[in-house]
Amino acid sequence: MNQKTVIDVQHITKVYGEKNEKQYRALKDVNFKVRQGEFVGIMGASGSGKTTLLNILATMDKPTEGQVLVSGQDVTKLDRNQISDFRVKQIGFIFQDFNLLESLSNAENIGLPLTLQGVKKRKANELVHQVASQLGINDLLDKYPVEISGGQKQRVAAARGLISRPQILFADEPTGALDSKNARELLETLKQVNDEEQVSVLMVTHDPFSASYCERILFIKDGKIGEEIEVGDQKRSEFYQTILNKLGTFDDQEEGTDVI
Ligand SMILES: Nc1ncnc2c1ncn2[C@@H]1O[C@H](COP(=O)(O)OP(=O)(O)OP(=O)(O)O)[C@@H](O)[C@H]1O
């Protein structure tokens, strides 16, 4: 197993709201590491802090305290330019609602991170075709997002997330808007890319089926990592059952954050 740490989360705390106002503590001293090529899931009740955590790791939000080392560099200390650079070169992101730009063709959407990096059109085109072949969506390149299905949109979004060959792919409920067939296909593809490219995948999900594709799952409860489970030698179907059993031990209540 690859032991290189790509993400090292140290003592992350997130408080929403200004001082003198009502404040909420959404994350409390969160610590964990992710290795290169690992497929890690984050599960937890609604309001437990999953999206807050993912957004901090992906530099879309800053923690109140603590640091996030990505390949040894503290990304919470980056300035605006460094953050843009970090996002386009080192990470990919897939959202539940795809976040494709309707006015761009699918090929242009996929190539957007390269356009932002100033990669020449010809080279960008070549890379777009490469990733599209890998994800089996070559025939969608000349179409626009409105002309394709939800499952196809998420594959286009995944291609955009992977085009820069990032070290880390963040996925926030990537199967949330997909039917089970499309969800399965997307997860198979993510797993394949994860294996082939050693890209670390960090996926927030409510869905035990999606989570069964992970090697390790962190359970967030009330802003803290409560427990974690690993697939180990289990088959995916067995891991799915393990996850269901684990979820059954939690109560299903929505979580409120701590008002300070
Ligand atoms: N911008 C914000 N300002 C104030 N509170 C916020 C803000 N964003 C999130 N919160 C609160 O922080 C807590 C954690 O929210 P977060 O979205 O991270 O949870 P989650 O686990 O992703 O939930 P869900 O599964 O419903 O998406 C929630 O109680 C939420 O209301």
- pLDDT at residue 257 greater than cutoff 60: no
* Average pLDDT value for the chain: 93
pLDDT tens by residue, 187-227: 999 999 999 999 999 999 999 999 999 999 999 998 999 99
* CA 257 to ligand 1 center in whole angstroms: 8
Element (DSSP H or E) covering residue 241: helix 236-248
Counting atoms of ligand 1 from 1, which one is nearest the CA of 220? 21
In this structure, the residue with its CA closest to atom 30 of ligand 1 is: 47
In this structure, the residue with its CA closest to atom 6 of ligand 1 is: 16
Element (DSSP H or E) covering residue 211: helix 208-211
- Rounded mean pLDDT, 112-137: 94
- What percentage of the chain exceeds 70 in pLDDT? 95
Task: State if residue 23 touches ligand 1 by the CB under 6 angstroms criterion.
Answer: no
Counted residue by residue, the chain has a size of: 260
Tokens standing for residue 75: 């990304």
- Rounded mean pLDDT, 61-69: 96
Please, which residues bridge with residue 229 across strands? 217
Query: Which of the 8 DSSP states describes residue 43?
Result: E
Task: State if residue 167 touches ligand 1 by the CB under 6 angstroms criterion.
Answer: no
Give the CA distances from residue 147 to residues 97, 135, 160, 162, 226, in Å, rounded to whole numbers and listed in that order.
16, 18, 17, 22, 43
pLDDT tens by residue, 2-15: 689 999 999 999 99
Tokens standing for residue 200: 């670390």
What's the burial of 102, exposed, middle or buried (CB within 10 Å: 0-12/13-18/19+)?
A: exposed
The interface predicted TM-score (ipTM) is 0.96
Task: State if residue 223 touches ligand 1 by the CB under 6 angstroms criterion.
Answer: no
- pLDDT at residue 252 greater than cutoff 80: no
Residue 17 neighbours by CB distance under 10 Å:
13
Q: How does strand 216-221 pair with strand 200-204?
A: unpaired
- pLDDT at residue 18 greater than cutoff 70: yes
Confidence of residue 259 (pLDDT cuts 50, 70, 90): low
Task: State if residue 111 touches ligand 1 by the CB under 6 angstroms criterion.
Answer: no
- pLDDT at residue 96 greater than cutoff 80: yes
Tokens standing for residue 60: 């879309």
Q: In angstroms, rounded to a whole number, what is the distance separating the alpha carbons of residues 231 and 118?
A: 41
* CA 246 to ligand 1 center in whole angstroms: 23
Q: Which residues have CB under 8 Å from 37's CB, separation 6+?
A: 2, 194, 195, 198, 199, 200
Confidence of residue 20 (pLDDT cuts 50, 70, 90): confident
pLDDT tens by residue, 140-157: 999 999 999 999 999 999
Task: State if residue 209 touches ligand 1 by the CB under 6 angstroms criterion.
Answer: no
Confidence of residue 90 (pLDDT cuts 50, 70, 90): very high
Q: Which residues have CB under 8 Å from 138's CB, separation 6+?
A: 129, 132
**Which alpha helices (H) appear in 29-164, and where do they start and end?**
50-57, 80-90, 106-116, 121-135, 150-162
Sign of the C-alpha dihedral, residues 149, 150, 155, 161? positive
Please, which residues bridge with residue 43 across strands? 219
Residue 158 neighbours by CB distance under 10 Å:
25
Q: In angstroms, rounded to a whole number, what is the distance separating the alpha carbons of residues 38 and 217?
A: 11
Element (DSSP H or E) covering residue 202: strand 200-204
- The pTM assigned to this predicted structure is 0.92
pLDDT tens by residue, 43-56: 999 999 999 999 99
Q: How does strand 24-35 pair with strand 168-172?
A: unpaired
Helix (H, G, I), strand (E, B) or coil at 185: helix
Q: In angstroms, rounded to a whole number, what is the distance separating the alpha carbons of residues 158 and 187?
A: 11
- pLDDT at residue 61 greater than cutoff 60: yes
